[in-house]
Structure 1
Amino acid sequence: MSKRILFTGGGSAGHVTVNTALIPHFEKEGWAITYIGSKDGIEKEIITDQFPHIPYKEISSGKLRRYFSWKNFSDPFRVMKGVLEALSIIRKTKPDIIFSKGGFVSVPVVMAAKIAKVPVAIHESDVTPGLANKLAVPFATKIFTTFPETVNVLPAEKSICAGAIIREELFTGDEKEGRRLTGYHNLKPVLMIMGGSLGARKINEAVRSNLGDLLNHFQIVHICGKGNVEPHMEQPGYKQYEFIKGDLPHYLAMTDFVISRAGSNSIFEFLALKKPMLLIPLSREASRGDQILNANSFVKHGYALKLEEEEVTAETFLQHVKELESKRDEYVSAMENADKAYTIQDMYEELSTMSK
């Protein structure tokens, strides 16, 4: 009889990425897989699109806001409803282990797992745990962290730094295919700019206001977000995309430098590929500050250069890009000496030993 695993996590793409990296390996090993997500979260679209054959179970979940909202009074009841729904799914599917990537939908699942006495593994991507994972920690059997410093703020007896779990297809990129797709040559380095799934207005403006100077030094791949392509700016050496999906490994293979937000999954992918990076984290006004802490950690370890969003101007942006270029060898050397993260096989073996 095959073993069974239940995955959960959602609310943002970052709360699904590790799951989508692990699921194919568990499938290959013959495990039966179920996914619990919300009714209308991004996780539903991602999982049902990539794994249409995997049962996707919907539950209720609350948002657990850090600010005042009348919904804060009703959402605890939605969470309790979600616990009962998750408990029913767990009892029907009888998983040997539950793997949670976080996000609000995971909280009822982890609570229900404790009631059902099913071991739970949590993976935390950021330097400091998000609110959902903070609530889930007491119910977890084991907690895997991405950043080494995160272990210091979690129960030591059940926490381990695993590093980032990187999608295996990321290492399959072909530099020649990337150049074919763009028409770029190898006489000038390639600079990739990505501002997240929706793009980043301030970053896009800084790139375009410096385009002449940048094109003197680089060929540019600009992933500028939905609705942010400006066709009139297209010119030799400057290509714009709303987003790049399946071919991204080929584009990354030919890339020499990256300018990016500081979401954990993305920056650890650049680290694994040894791409020197300029990080422009989301400001505290637009987030809980996790990207700033992520960027600070990478700066401390010598993997990246940081520019605060509030400090982005045409001038500061260009200065930092030039500094990134001048220190390329330092960043690559530091990344080559970085601690090795768990492979997907390592994580599979860890989780297998936890199954009841």
Structure 2
Amino acid sequence: MRIIVSGGGTGGHIYPAITIIRALKARVPEAEFLYVGTRRGLEADIVPKEGLPFATIDLQGFERHITLDNLRRAGKALVGVGKAARLVRKFRPDAAIGTGGYVCGPILLAASLAGVPTLIQEQNVVPGITNKLLSRFVTKIATGTEEAMRHFPAAKTVCTGNPIRSEVLTARREDGLKAYGFSGDRRVVLVSGGSRGARAINRAMVGVLKAAQHHAEVQFLLATGKGEYEAECARLKDAGVDLAAAPHIKVVPYLYDMPQAQAMADLAVFRAGATGLAELTARGIPAILVPYPYAAENHQEHNARALEEAGAARMILDRDLSSERLASVLTELLSEPEKLAQMAAASRRLGRPEAAADIAELVLSIAAR
């Protein structure tokens, strides 16, 4: 069996694709894969490290208004469609999978036109333009949420949930506590703005940590993002926060083992990317969500609102975020164990830990036609 996979630009498109590939390999060990991305996206670094064959198409996303640069990008897109068709003809896949990003468009379109069974996996509550267009051509659509189903043809759409790494479920709380020197009898708040960090969240955390440094009953792990780490440490120092004297507060540039950190978290402060939310709900972690305001189609706010309406999270819009507001919500939730437990239960009900396996079975079912 030969399967072509495409997803690029951000980790939110790449890691679900890799997770689906792993689930397929577990079922069909002899399966061959070709991952198609771009040279500029994170996939150019991540995918080869997974030991997967990797091919590229030279594409860029379009700006949302008419420009000369868009005309040049349109020319590249036409060339990209031609290359995608050649890749499909040469690889001769039994199925093609797209997990988002503009690079998926040419590959899945070329595969569909060649009669290859195709599947797109939509992570967000509100789909992006690429997947909306592809939905007319593909064989099946796997959505991460029930809300997303209304944007696609009902006959070909299945809600599977979003695929998550197996490590998310197997990571142990005690290992996380040991790694960061935290106590097992106090709550842990995990704060992360994603792999690159979130300046708005980091700045709001300065006031929170200033107040928390003298109150060790709650432990904090803040991942600032590599580009923000030095600036955040300087802001904390200027605010009078002495991290060396507060072992219950840890500030790191990047979490190389996010599942381990999630395993010990009693509450999370996160952006609202679909992959991060899938991991939180799989573990049943209540959250305070601060959606990234410039995400395409404002999808992060829609993602966050869905969790809030389900009782699994509280949302603070980026424009409303401040140290005072964040501290207020943290204090409210941490001082009411029953409310936190209810949120955890609501989060767990939303979790779909079996999503990758279900998507893999869906791919195998269309490939067998």
Question: Is 2:281 aligned against 1:271?
Answer: yes
Q: How does 1:117-136 map to 2 (within 5 A)?
A: 117-136=115-134
Separation in structure 1 between the aligned mates of residue 361 and residue 327 of structure 2, nearest angstrom: 45
Secondary structure at 2:255 match in 1: coil
Structure-1-length-normalised TM-score: 0.93
State the shift of 1:26 in Å. Answer: 2.3
Counterpart of 1:149 in structure 2 is 147
**Contact 1:307–1:320 (CA under 8 A) maintained in structure 2:** no
Shift of 1:324: 2.7
For 2:347, the equivalent position in structure 1 comes to 335
Distance 1:255 1:337 in 2: 18
The alpha-carbon distance between structure 1 residues 339 and 212, as it changes in their structure 2 partners (threshold 3 A), is closer
Contact in 1 for aligned 2:84/2:106 (Cα 8 Å): yes
Question: Which amino acid in the other structure matches residue 160 of structure 1?
Answer: V
Aligned partner letter, 2:304: A
Write the distance in 2 (CA, Å) between the matches of 1:21 and 1:218: 34
Q: The residue matched to 2:228 in structure 1 has which SS?
A: coil
Asked if 1:244 is matched to 2:255, the reply is yes
Residue 341 to residue 162, structure 1, CA distance change in 2 (3 Å)? farther
**What SS does structure 2 have at the residue aligned with 1:35?**
strand
Shift of 1:63: 1.1
Q: Residue by residue, what CA displacement relative to the aligned partner does 1:177-226 show, whole Å, maximum 9, x if unpaired?
A: 11211111122101000012221122111111121433424111101111
Offset, 1:261: 0.3
Specify which of 290, 293, 306 is matched with residue 297 of structure 1: 306
Relative distance call for 1:289 and 1:343 in structure 2 (3 A) is closer
Residues 264 and 117 (structure 1), Cα distance of their counterparts in 2 relative to 1, 3 Å cut: same
Q: What SS does the corresponding residue of 1:191 show, helix, strand or coil?
A: strand
In the aligned structure 1, how far is the partner of 2:19 from the partner of 2:255?
18
CA contact (8 A) 1:61 1:108 kept: no
Which 4+ runs in 1 deviate beyond 6 A?
A: none
SS at 1:210 equivalent: helix
Please tell me whether residue 260 in structure 1 is matched to residue 260 in structure 2.
no
CA contact (8 A) 2:307 2:347 kept: no
Task: Give 2:86's aligned residue.
Answer: 88
Shift of 1:67: 2.5
Quick one: distance in 2 between partners of 1:130 and 1:275? 27
What is the match of residue 219 of structure 1? 219
Counterpart amino acid of 1:324?
L
User: Equivalent residue for 2:97?
Assistant: 99
Deviations 1:150-187 (A, max 9, x none): 11121111111111111111112122211211111122
SS in 2 for 1:337: helix
Distance 1:44 1:339, change over 3 A: closer
Structure 1 distance, partners of 2:60, 2:260, is 39
Q: Distance in 1 between matches of 2:192 and 2:137?
A: 36
Q: TM-score, normalised by structure 2?
A: 0.90
Deviation at 1:58, TM superposition (A): 1.0
Once the two structures are superposed, the pairs formed by residues 310-349 of structure 1 within 5 Å of their partners are 310-325=319-334, 326=336, 327-338=339-350, 340=352, 342-349=354-361
1:179 to 153, 177, 180: 177
Q: How many residues align?
A: 350
Q: Any idea what the Cα deviations from partners look like across 1:119-150, whole Å, max 9, x if unmatched?
A: 11001111111112122221211111111011
The offset of 1:323, in angstroms, is 2.6
**C-alpha distance in 2 between matches for 1:341 and 1:227:** 32
Aligned to 1:55: 53
Deviation at 1:76, TM superposition (A): 2.1
Query: What per-residue deviation string (whole Å, max 9, x for no partner) do you get for residues 22-70 of structure 1?
Result: 2223233221111111122111111012x23x21011122412223322
1:245-271 per-residue CA deviation (whole Å, 9 max, x = no partner) reads: 2x3222211111100000011011101
Equivalent position SS for 2:161: coil
User: In 1, Cα distance between the equivalents of 2:227 and 2:58?
Assistant: 32
The structural deviation recorded for 1:342 is 4.0
Letter in 2 for 1:301: A
Report the residue type matching 2:343 in the other structure: Y
* 1:288 shift after superposition: 3.3
1:66-81 alignment, distance < 5 Å? 66-81=64-79
| Contact 2:268 2:288 (C-alpha < 8 Å) held by counterparts | yes
Report how far residue 298 of structure 1 moved: 0.5
Identity %: 29
Within-5 A mapping of 1:22-41: 22-28=20-26, 29=28, 30-41=30-41
What is the aligned partner in structure 2 of residue 46 from structure 1?
46
Distance 2:178 2:319 in 1: 37
8 Å contact from structure 1 (residues 305, 324) kept in 2: no
Which has the higher mean CA deviation after the structures are superposed, 273-282 or 69-78? Answer: 69-78
1:242 maps to a residue whose letter is P
Cα pair 2:7 2:101 within 8 Å, conserved: yes
Q: 1:339 to 1:179 in 2, by over 3 A?
A: closer
Mapped contact 2:281–2:351 kept (Cα < 8 A) = no
Residue 113 of structure 1, CA deviation: 0.9
Consecutive unaligned residues of structure 2, counting only runs of 5 or more, are: none
For structure 1, the residue ranges without an aligned partner over 5 or more in a row are none
Q: CA RMSD in A?
A: 1.7
1: CA distance, partners of 2:345 / 2:181: 29
C-alpha displacement at 1:293, in angstroms? Answer: 0.5
> Which SS does the other structure have where 2:45 is aligned?
helix
Q: Which amino acid aligns with 1:237?
A: H
